[in-house]
Structure 1
Amino acid sequence: MEEKLKIYEKTIKKKHSFNWTPNYKEEVRTSLNKTVFIPIAEKTFQKLDWDIVFKDENKIEAKRKEKALGIEQWTEIITATYNFGSLEVKSESLGNEMWDNGRNSKRVKLFIHALKETENEFDRNALNQLEKETEKKNNWDDYVIPEILPKPLESKKPNFLIPTIGGIITSLILGFVIAEVSIRGIYFIGLFEFLVGIAIAFALKLLIKTSNFTDFQKLNFLLIAMIIITYLSNQYFQYEIILRENNYDRIGFLEFMKIRFTEGLTIKTLNTGWIGLIISWILQLGLTYAIAYLRLVSTITSYQLERIPTEVLDYSYYQFVKGKSEQEVRIELANKGWTEIENQNEVFEAIQAVYGQIELNRIK
């Protein structure tokens, strides 16, 4: 952040916010038009060292981060929205606090001040020039249509059977490992759910690349099934290990689960009963899913982008900017050597992945 802005920030009078998600917003008038507002707001965020995560014709968002104990973390997301000469600036906490100690109000007031400073750097001629440059950029007027495009990779038909079989095998292996660890008494609640989520996501990453399958809805269902199989098989493997290592008479898996419910969950010396056991299982499933889900989304998005050269992606996006339909873009791609429907579909998936990546960055 520029030094003069740091000095101004110290003079801002804070307004505290108490809420499940503390936030603060202000609305001010602006003489800027919609076209130049976004680039000027973008320059303002850059001065403040806030990371821009989203922008469109009317709105721009950035996240502020700070380092604590050597670890960088997001603290607030700041959104500036233009609406017919009116500007709404909102800051929202990204932590889990219910009281922001006035931080959100400081972000909003600092941004408004910095925006006015940035605006004052432009006279009327400079604003007109900025407007023309922005319109050219938005319309891709400077884009040079390539004579040729990189050739597509050999098309591989997506195969959902590969991630399905691989997912089941992975889940059973993880279930056995967790059972072994649990029996030995070295199970740490939270840590192992995190590791299981990472392991499942990593396995899916390899399976996605092997199968060339990127249907998110089906992969999400597979993810849920993998988590359920992992923890259900964990219980069964515990049952088998306990019986074999202690030479107990076989009582049946359902009877074993009844005993588990009867004994409940004991944390140190506190027995929380069957309710505590069920709650722990729900948290176990939820935490694992949350971790693996975010990784899965990131994996699919990255893979969809990896398959398509940047030149092809830019060329296709340019066609859409110029108002062409999907069928017309397919024709343009075919004229450049991308004749296979599967390859064309992968191009469209990559374009969607760009937006998916943006939305992933916007997650609060």
Structure 2
Amino acid sequence: MADAQRIYIAIVGVGGVGKAFLPQFAHLQKRLDSQQPPVDLRLILARKSNKQVLTERYNGLDPNSVLDTLNESKKPYLDFDEILGFLESAPGKVVLVDNTADLGLGKQYPKCLKRGISVVTPNKKAFSDTWKLWESIFDAAAQGGSHVFHEATVGAGLPVLSTLKELIETGDEVTKIEGVFSGTMSFLFNAFMPVGGGGGKFSAEVKKAKDLGYTEPDPRDDLNGLDVARKLTILARLVGLQIESPTSFPVQSLIPSALESCSSGDEFMEKLPNHDDEMEKIKDGAAKEGKVLRFVGSIDVASKAVKVGLEKFDSDHPIAALKGSDNIINFYTKRYGSNPLIIQGAGAGGDVTAMGVTGDLIKVIRLLQGQ
């Protein structure tokens, strides 16, 4: 039996995505250990907002019990520079798996990558912040001989970024990207204005989505359109557009202007029914044209136009026919002609997002095996 190649793994964030990632990681760890030649994935750090556990001798933590170990930990909480030193001193290749949405941690990626620590993450804030941060992340990876993958920043486990990269790298010309990029907004508008008519008042559908766990705890974080804008920023940058930030192009907020000053999500939800007439007028206007409303993002590559907001679609359009909380992303390219390449499916949720992260980790492991 060949000696196992050892790769050290540090996990930051054990919330919704992080908890879903741990059993997938344990499965991958077991599978790679049994292959020939084996790969020893060694978990050496688990960290959340106020606690951490690490193995000073780099001898590994059990992913099946690390949550309990972490919760019981009384060890001092080190600052990130100290953690970086610990990871850099590992006797082999290291991968940082960031399962948070922390921009502060995202700003540390260049420092990690320059020191040869690869990064895998669903953290869209890191890749949709300033253009300078975007450039510095990939420049640092090139300098450090490390790798960075972020498939789950757009579409969770759907192969959106990998498909787009393959289109570009094989010489296709992407002309337009259009789609529903938010599971929350997909669910909301499929309920508010379903194909065939019907649907409840906007405030009632927002409440239903919130009660079912489809929205953020404060629904304004979905209704302001910024989540979709972050995803469009990432896609636009990948097709070569130098987008400065998610606020540098038109983003339609569905928060009534009179409610922008609400001090809490609860106050917002309490007052939202008073503004249902505004959305009803837009809904009625679309219905008179025989169309339905959907909250979409689009990128016109030639004109460099990026926008997020409500659009009207014929009932037989693929975007109109979307079900539940699914995402749909249409790639219009020279190679595919007038019929777009369509990627569709669950674009949110802990398990599928963690799958995107695990898939990226597999890609990094393969690259590290070749080094």
| TM-score (norm: length of structure 1) | 0.23
Q: Which has the higher strand share?
A: 2
For normalisation by structure 2, the TM-score amounts to 0.23
Bigger Rg, structure 1 or 2: 1
Which structure has more relative contact order (CA 8 Å, sep 6+)? It is 2
